[in-house]
Structure 1
Amino acid sequence: MALIIPVFIALVALYILSFYKKIRNNLKFNYYGSKIPGPPLKFLMGNTYMFQNLPNEEIQVIFKREAKKARERGDTVLRYLLPGKLIVWPLDGKTLAQILESTTEIHKGSDYVMFEPWVGGLLLLVGDRWKAHRKMITPTFHFAKLEGYVNVFNQESKILIECLEKFADSGETVDIFPYINRCLLDIICETAMGTKVNAQFNHNHSYLKAVKGYTALMLKHSMTPILWSSFMFWALGYKKQQDDYLRTLKNFTAGVITERKAALESGEAETSNSKRNMNFLDMMLSMKESNALSEEELRGEVDTFMFGGHDTTTTSASWTVWCLAHNPEIQQKVYEEIMEICGEDMDVTYEQMNKMNYLDLVMKESKRMYPPVPGVQRQLQKDMIIDGYTVPAGANVAIAPVALHSNHLVFKDPEVFDPNRFLPEECSKRHAYDYIPFSAGIKNCIGQKFAVLNEKVLIIHLVRNYQIEPMMKLGETKPCFEVVSKPSKGIPVKLTKRV
C-alpha cells in the first residue's frame, strides 16, 4: 500500500513531462513554421481548417493550387502547420535536392507510424539495417530476373483481356480499375512469391478490401489531429478497424508464406541455390533458414513487396488507361507502334518492349499528370536550412510529386497531356528531380523497373485488343490523396474490339 502513492505520483509526473514535451514541440514548430511561406494560419489549429469536411479527392487539388500560388509569389518552399506537426514542401527539383541527396536524413515521416504494424521492412528501416536489407533484396530486381517475369505478365494480362471481353461484346461501361487491381495481385503473387491466388476470378478478395480500408484509415489518422491520441483512436473505434484490417492482411501473407514453404519442402516447387534465379519469397525464406531474418522481418519484407508491387502499379496503369482514353490520337499512335513491333505475336517479349519508345513517353507523361504516389515524407533528425529557411528537427519534409509534376514553370500547360515532354531534348532542360515518380536518391524505389515492365505489358495487351473510350469527363474522377492516388470514381470506359 505504501508503494501506491509514489508509483501514482511517478506516473502523473511522466504524463506531465510527455505533455510538456508536446507543448514545447508545438511552440517550436509554430515559431519556425510562421517564418516559412504558406497558407494563412489560424490560432491553435494552424492549417487544419483547409482540410476539414473536405472530400478526399479535393485534397490534391488544394495542394496543387497552393503550390502554384507559392511559385507565383516567387517561393520555392511551402509550409503546412497542423497541431504538433510541421510539414515543409520543396516546390522544385533544385530545392528538393538537399533532402534527396542527404545520406543521413532518411527517416520516414511521422505519418508512417500507421505503416509500422503492417509492413515495417525495407520501407521503414534506416542505417545499417536498411543497407543490409536493401543489398539482400537487390538481386530480385536484376534485369535477368525481370526478363523471366515477362511470361507471367503476359499470361495474367491475357486473362484480364478475357475478363473484359463481355463488356466489349455488350458495349456496357466498365470500371476497369478493379480488374487491373486483381490482375496485378495475381502477377505479384506469382512472380514474387511463386504462388497463384486467382484473384481475377475472385472479385471479392479479402486482401484487396483490407488494403483499401487500411490505406484510407491511414489518411484519416494523418489528417485528423484528435486521432493522434492513441486513447481517442481507440475510444472512437478506429483501433478495432485497424486491428481487423491488419488481421486480414497478415493472415493473407502468412498463408502465402506457408503455402510456398510447403511446396518447397514437398518438392512440388523447385528452388535454386543462386540468388539471381530465386523469386523474392524464396530468397526471404533462405534468409529465414540461415537466421538472417526473424519471422516478423520475413513477414514485413513480404508485406512491403506485396503492397509496393501491387497497389502502386495498379494506380499507375489505371491512370495511363484513362489518359489514353481521353487522347484517342495518342492511343492510336501507341497501337500503331505495338503492331509495328509485335505484329501478330500473342505474347510481348522483353526485346520488343525495349523498342517501344513512344509508349515509354506516354507512360512517363501519365505519371507526371497522375503521380501514383502523391508524396512521401522524411522526418528531420537535425535542423536543416532549406532555401534560407530553418526547418527544425522533428518536422517533416515532403517529397511530393503531386506538387513537383504540376509545376507550370517547368512543365508548360501542366494540365495538357503531352508525351513529347519526355523527349531527350526536353528532359535535358529540366532539373533531374523535377520529375520523380519513383522518388530519387539513395531511397528511390527499388522495384521501379519491375513496375514499369509490368505496366507496359498490361497496357500493350489492352490497347492491342481494345479501343478505349472514356465514359466520364477527364476531371470527374480525381486522384485521391492516399498512400497511392486511386481514382475517386474509378476508371469508367467503353471497350471496342479491334479487328
Structure 2
Amino acid sequence: MFTKYALRSFLLRTRKFSSKPCPGPAAVSKRDDYYKTLAEDTNESKPPGWDSALPYEKIPGPKPLPIVENLRRLLPVVGELHKSPILKMLNQSREQYGDVVVSKDILGKPDSVYIYNVKDIENVLRNSGSYPVRKVIDIFVYYRTVVRKDIFQDFGGILTVQGEDWFRSRSVVNPILMQPKAIHPYMTRLDGVAGELVENMRHFSRLNENHQMPDNFENDLYKWALESVGIMALNKHFGCLDLTTPEDSDPKKLVSAILDMFDHLFLIEIAPPLWKLFSTPLYKKFVKNLDFVNSVIIKSIDEALAEPIDESVPEHELSILHRLGKRDKKVAFTMVMDMLIFGVDTTGKTLGAILYFLAKNPEKQAKLREEIFKVIPEKDSNITAERLKKLSYLRAVIKESTRIAPVTIGSFRTTVKDLVLGGYQIPKGTNITVVSICTSNSSEHFKDPEKFVPERWLREIDDDYSKNVNPFASLPFGFGPRKCVGMRFANFELELVLMKIIRNFELSWEHSDMEFASHLLYGISNPLKITVKEVTR
C-alpha cells in the first residue's frame, strides 16, 4: 500500500543522526517572501475607512531595545521555563498600548500585530480567504524540508505548507478527521484506555493515606493521550499506562521526548534566532530529540503496515493511517506523525485543566456526575454514541475549561488583503496574532470570567451567564478552514475519559489555587495533586 519511504532503511542508516547546516539569512528571507507572495490579492481596492485610518507605522507597541536589553527582558521567562505568565503579560500589553499592538523581534524588526478586539478578530478570520495563510515555526519546517528531507521527501505535512498545497492536503484529511461520526468506530478501545487511566488513579490513591495523586500525575495524562491517539491513528496500544512497563521503554521515552520538544521549541522561539546562522547547542538538542520521536513513530507505522488488513473490516473501522493511505500516502504518513506528536501535550494539558476545575468546583462536579449517573447507571455500562449525545453538561464542562485555559493563546494569520483594524491600516502580508486567550478571559464578553461556569454554554439555561456570548470571544480550536484538524478527536477523547473518571471518583483540591502558564502551550504549571475518593454508587 505505502511506498514506505524506505522506513526500515531509514532506521538502519540513521542510528547516528547528523545536524545539517542551518539555512542562513538568505533562506529565511526567501521563506518570508514566500509568505508575502501567498498573501497577495489581485484586488487592489482598499477596504472602507482605509484613507482615514492611521498608517501601519503608527501602531503602538514596545519600543525596539538593544539586543542586550531584549535578552535581559527575556531572562526571567527563560529562567523559569514553566512559569511564563503569558496571560498577565498579554493583558498588560493591551492595557498599555490598546487593542492593536505591534510586536518586534529581538532585532527590532516588526514580527506580528496582536489584536484584542472581537470585531477585529472576526474581521481577520472572515477575510483570510479560501487558503488561510499563517506563519509557521521555521525550525520545524526546516527540520522536515531540509534536515530530514530523506524521510519526508517533498511533503512535510499540512503544518509546513501554504496556499493550494495546504488546501489539497486538508481536502484529503477533512472527510475523515472532521466528520462527527469518524470517531465512533474507536469508541470501545478508547474506553479501554480511559479505564487504564482510572485504574492507575485507583492505584495511586492507595499509596498514601490522603488518597492524593503523585506530583508527576500529569505524566499519566500525557500517556493516556498518546495511547488514545495511537488507537485511532495506528490501531496500536503502546502500553504507556501499564505500570509494569519499564520507564526506559520506547513508548514511555516517546512521551518525555515529545514534551521536551515543546520545551525546546519555546526556548528557540523566544531567543535570538542564532540557529539560523549556525548549529547552536539548543538546535542540536532539538534535532536529536525529534530524531528519536520520528524513529519511534516510524517504527510503529512500519509495524502497522506490515500487518495484513482484514478485508471484511469496513473502511470506516480501519486506522487513520490506512484510511488516509487509500487517498494519499504522503498525507497519511505525515498526518499520523502530526497526530502522535501534537496530540499528546495538547490533549493532556486540556484534561489536566478540566480535572483541576472540577476538583476546585465540587458543585459543578456533582452536577456532572448526576448527568453521568442517568446515562451510565452502572460503572461497567456499555458506552455508546447515543449515550454520549445525552451528556450536554459534560460538553459544557469541556468548553468552559477551554475558555479559561485554552492550550494556545490564539490563532495566527498572514493577511491576504489590506484591512483596517482598530483604526490602523494593516497591509496585506502582515502577520497577525489573534489573542483569543484574553478575550475568552475578559469581563467584556463573559460575566465573572474567572469563575468556572459550564452553564454559560447551555442553550436551555436563561441567565446572565449565557446571554449574548460573542462566538469569536472564545476560539480554543481556531476558526474557519484552518480550524484545528484534531478538534473532534480531542473532544471525543476528553468526553470518554472524563465520563469514566467522574463516574468512578469524587475529586477534590486541598491546595492553593493552581498557576497557569505557558511554554509554547498554555496549561497548569503546578503538580496536579488531586485527591480522589471512590464513588460507591
- State the TM-score, normalized to the length of structure 2: 0.77
User: How many residues of Structure 1 are paired with residues of Structure 2 in the alignment?
Assistant: 460
- Residue in structure 2 matched with residue 4 of structure 1 by the alignment: none
- Residue in structure 2 matched with residue 479 of structure 1 by the alignment: 517
- Residue in structure 1 matched with residue 335 of structure 2 by the alignment: 301
The correspondence of residues 246-257 of structure 1 with structure 2, limited to 5 A, is: 246-257=290-301
Report the Cα offset of residue 113 of structure 1: 3.9
- Residue in structure 1 matched with residue 36 of structure 2 by the alignment: none
Kept in 1, the 8 Å contact 2:59–2:102? The answer is: yes
SS of structure 2 residue aligned to 1:199? coil
When residues 248 and 273 of structure 1 are mapped into structure 2, their CA distance, relative to the original with a 3 A threshold, is: same
CA-to-partner distance for each residue in 1:49-78, whole Å, 9 max, x for gaps? 6433223423314334325525xx7x3323
CA-to-partner distance for each residue in 1:146-172, whole Å, 9 max, x for gaps? 221211221111111111212222324
How large is the RMSD of aligned CA atoms in angstroms?
A: 3.1
| Corresponding residue to 2:167 among 101, 106, 131 | 131
Q: Which amino acid counterpart does residue 401 of structure 1 have in structure 2?
A: S
CA-to-partner distance for each residue in 1:238-257, whole Å, 9 max, x for gaps? 22102211211111221111
Q: Distance in 2 between matches of 1:50 and 1:409?
A: 30
Q: Which runs of 5+ in 2 are unaligned?
A: 1-23, 34-53, 145-151
When residues 421 and 321 of structure 1 are mapped into structure 2, their CA distance, relative to the original with a 3 A threshold, is: same
When residues 39 and 89 of structure 1 are mapped into structure 2, their CA distance, relative to the original with a 3 A threshold, is: same
| Corresponding residue to 2:111 among 62, 65, 86 | 86
Q: Which amino acid counterpart does residue 206 of structure 1 have in structure 2?
A: K
- Residue in structure 2 matched with residue 442 of structure 1 by the alignment: 481
- Residue in structure 2 matched with residue 230 of structure 1 by the alignment: 276
Q: Which amino acid counterpart does residue 468 of structure 1 have in structure 2?
A: L
Q: Distance in 2 between matches of 1:313 and 1:21?
A: 34
CA-to-partner distance for each residue in 1:370-414, whole Å, 9 max, x for gaps? 102223422346654323223355542113332221222112332
Q: Which runs of 5+ in 1 are unaligned?
A: 1-14, 25-30
Q: Distance in 1 between matches of 2:115 and 2:313?
A: 45
When residues 16 and 410 of structure 1 are mapped into structure 2, their CA distance, relative to the original with a 3 A threshold, is: closer
CA-to-partner distance for each residue in 1:322-372, whole Å, 9 max, x for gaps? 101111111111111111221115243221221112122211111011102
Q: Which amino acid counterpart does residue 390 of structure 1 have in structure 2?
A: Q
| Identity across the alignment (%) | 19
When residues 474 and 271 of structure 1 are mapped into structure 2, their CA distance, relative to the original with a 3 A threshold, is: farther
Kept in 2, the 8 Å contact 1:93–1:434? The answer is: yes
When residues 108 and 340 of structure 1 are mapped into structure 2, their CA distance, relative to the original with a 3 A threshold, is: same
Kept in 1, the 8 Å contact 2:102–2:110? The answer is: no
Q: Which amino acid counterpart does residue 276 of structure 2 have in structure 1?
A: S
SS of structure 2 residue aligned to 1:125? coil
Q: Distance in 2 between matches of 1:64 and 1:270?
A: 53
The correspondence of residues 416-495 of structure 1 with structure 2, limited to 5 A, is: 416-424=451-459, 429-475=468-514, 477-482=515-520, 484-495=521-532
- Residue in structure 1 matched with residue 42 of structure 2 by the alignment: none
Is 2:174 aligned against 1:144? no
Q: Distance in 2 between matches of 1:16 and 1:351?
A: 55
The correspondence of residues 358-369 of structure 1 with structure 2, limited to 5 A, is: 358-369=393-404
Q: Structure 1 runs of 4+ off > 6 angstroms?
A: 15-22, 44-48
- Residue in structure 1 matched with residue 149 of structure 2 by the alignment: none
SS of structure 1 residue aligned to 2:472? helix
When residues 80 and 32 of structure 1 are mapped into structure 2, their CA distance, relative to the original with a 3 A threshold, is: farther
Q: Which amino acid counterpart does residue 247 of structure 1 have in structure 2?
A: D
- Residue in structure 1 matched with residue 322 of structure 2 by the alignment: 282
Is 2:229 aligned against 1:193? no
- Residue in structure 2 matched with residue 318 of structure 1 by the alignment: 352
When residues 19 and 193 of structure 1 are mapped into structure 2, their CA distance, relative to the original with a 3 A threshold, is: closer
CA-to-partner distance for each residue in 1:10-44, whole Å, 9 max, x for gaps? xxxxx99899999x9xxxxxx97752133455356
Kept in 2, the 8 Å contact 1:33–1:81? The answer is: no
Is 2:449 aligned against 1:414? yes
Report the Cα offset of residue 111 of structure 1: 3.6
| Larger helix proportion of the pair | 1
CA-to-partner distance for each residue in 1:455-489, whole Å, 9 max, x for gaps? 011011111111112243223x323231x224222
The correspondence of residues 42-61 of structure 1 with structure 2, limited to 5 A, is: 42=65, 50-54=73-77, 55-56=80-81, 57-61=83-87
- Residue in structure 1 matched with residue 285 of structure 2 by the alignment: 241
- State the TM-score, normalized to the length of structure 1: 0.83
Report the Cα offset of residue 216 of structure 1: 1.0
Q: Distance in 1 between matches of 2:389 and 2:93?
A: 36
Q: Distance in 1 between matches of 2:190 and 2:26?
A: 55
Is 2:134 aligned against 1:108? yes
Q: Distance in 2 between matches of 1:18 and 1:300?
A: 23
Q: Distance in 2 between matches of 1:172 and 1:273?
A: 43
